[in-house]
A and B are shown apart, each in its own frame.
Chain A
């Protein structure tokens, strides 16, 4: 039975009144701290590689590789989802969250085989980021070329 718009609106108000609010402030503080710690770790790695004689660009590459590896490892050990539940955007936004979003479906769909499972489903979460990231970089490229 579909209800009228007026009933739906009234009900929506009741639901909002009865639902616990997302603790936005707490979530933002935790996300800031955890996200910040991940970035500090990245910076420490960059500084370390520069100290060891790498140039900035290579040091950034090496840092990314290590963070992605750690995120993949922690996903495999079943720790990263717990971090995500605790930190929210703090562990989703950095590159480690991107790694987690690719490794977790890869693990999940292994049981459906390496081709139609892992291969086909690995980018179910990260796919949109890659697609629209590529589209945007195309337009940025065109703009750079024109001006």
Chain B
């Protein structure tokens, strides 16, 4: 159960998975999505849909900030708390110097820990929040993340109105924000384990091939998590990666198979879930961005867990750690994947 290092008993299982003695509770969560996300198959799971990409603001960056702030505020309200009850705010996004998170923190006035894990941010944040809580450093922690199609497009790719053709492997950055209040006590799904990812680079160069760039990291984290916890995919109701989309998802399945892990129908991906790939074919291979798994975790998955659809989930965020500069200078794209186990009533199930 616990790992012994010298005289210290670490709250760990296996080589690298964290095990929370008192699993923190995801007390409440909120998700806001854009128009296209609202039209997707999980549109009903968003608390709010924003039809206007500018959201009444003067720039897309300001709109993204407003969206993140509202999601954060909504999550706190839903928990029946006020901002004064929150000990730390952990957030990050895709924009340079994580300005969306920084400016949201400026308004929220809570001690702020800015994080960057590209599209894995929500899982990185939730895992860190759980560490803060189980470590006894905090009572309530607010985690949040966002991405916005137009702000990401203009930073990473081309001006939005430029007429370019996308490759079938390209992905569509999701406009969405997710926020959750993680707490020491209360009712709701609990975070029982966290497996931080290793940064893995198998030499993918093309920024429009991000699913392939992140897939090795995702497969590595799933394999290490299962090995550490001595579990099989069958022990989970579902394992969901962040935003690998249809191409990356297929690669993960093959990579896991090569490691002797057969995921069967227990594995899916947020980039595939958030859009209808048949009718919304302009998204090409599927969704990407912090807001993809961020809003799915804080919207869809939390709702389904509370309904009883799922008892135990492995939720994973996957980040492509590139910048426009690194790509232009001929660097390949490293990937990272962080996973958490979320469980209803972990006591009853007796997590290992």
User: Contact residues of A with B, CB < 8 Å?
Assistant: 1-3, 7-8, 11-12, 14-15, 18-23, 27, 75-76, 78, 80-85, 87-89, 91-92, 97, 100-101, 103-105, 107-109, 111, 124-125
Chain A residues contacting B161 (CB-CB under 8 Å) are 75-76, 78, 80-81, 100, 103-104, 107-108
Q: Contacts A1-B198, A18-B254, A103-B161: A11 and B216 contacting too (C-beta < 8 A)?
A: yes
Give B168's nearest chain A residue, CB to CB.
A20
User: Which of A8, A19, A124 meets B203, CB within 8 Å?
Assistant: A8
Give B253's nearest chain A residue, CB to CB.
A18
Docked-complex contact A85 and B247, CB < 8 angstroms: no
Give the complex CA separation of A103 and B165 in angstroms.
17
- Confirm or deny: B200 has a beta carbon within 8 angstroms of a beta carbon on chain A: yes
Docked-complex contact B168 and A108, CB < 8 angstroms: no
Give B284's nearest chain A residue, CB to CB.
A20
Chain B residues contacting A104 (CB-CB under 8 Å) are 158-163
Chain B residues contacting A20 (CB-CB under 8 Å) are 168-169, 247, 285
User: Which of A7, A101, A108 meets B154, CB within 8 Å?
Assistant: A108
> Separation in Å of the B69 CB from the closest CB of chain A?
19
Docked-complex contact B209 and A19, CB < 8 angstroms: yes
Docked-complex contact A15 and B204, CB < 8 angstroms: yes
User: Which of B58, B164, B212 meets A84, CB within 8 Å?
Assistant: B164
Residues of B within 8 A of A (CB-CB), count:
32
Give the complex CA separation of A11 and B200 in angstroms.
12
Give A10's nearest chain B residue, CB to CB.
B202
Docked-complex contact A105 and B200, CB < 8 angstroms: no
- Complex A-B: 17 CB contacts under 8 Å: A1-B198, A1-B199, A14-B251, A15-B212, A19-B247, A20-B285, A21-B168, A81-B160, A81-B164, A83-B163, A84-B164, A101-B162, A104-B162, A105-B159, A108-B159, A124-B159, A125-B159
Docked-complex contact B163 and A108, CB < 8 angstroms: no
- Confirm or deny: B59 has a beta carbon within 8 angstroms of a beta carbon on chain A: yes
Docked-complex contact B201 and A2, CB < 8 angstroms: yes
Chain B residues contacting A81 (CB-CB under 8 Å) are 160-164
Chain B residues contacting A22 (CB-CB under 8 Å) are 167-168
Number of A-B contacts (CB under 8 A): 103
Q: Contacts A20-B247, A84-B162, A104-B159: A14 and B201 contacting too (C-beta < 8 A)?
A: no
> Separation in Å of the B67 CB from the closest CB of chain A?
17
Q: Name B260-305 residues within 8 Å CB distance of A.
A: 282, 285
Give the complex CA separation of A69 and B247 in angstroms.
40
Docked-complex contact B163 and A111, CB < 8 angstroms: no
- Contacts A15-B212, A18-B247, A89-B165 given; 7 further ones with Cβ under 8 A? A11-B203, A12-B203, A14-B254, A19-B212, A84-B162, A85-B163, A108-B159
> Separation in Å of the B255 CB from the closest CB of chain A?
8
- Confirm or deny: B78 has a beta carbon within 8 angstroms of a beta carbon on chain A: no
Give the complex CA separation of A12 and B282 in angstroms.
25
> Separation in Å of the A33 CB from the closest CB of chain B?
15
Chain A residues contacting B199 (CB-CB under 8 Å) are 1
**Among the interface residues A27, A76, A100, which one has the most CB atoms of the partner chain B within 10 A?**
A100
Give the complex CA separation of A107 and B59 in angstroms.
12
> Separation in Å of the B170 CB from the closest CB of chain A?
10
User: Which of B154, B160, B164 meets A92, CB within 8 Å?
Assistant: B164
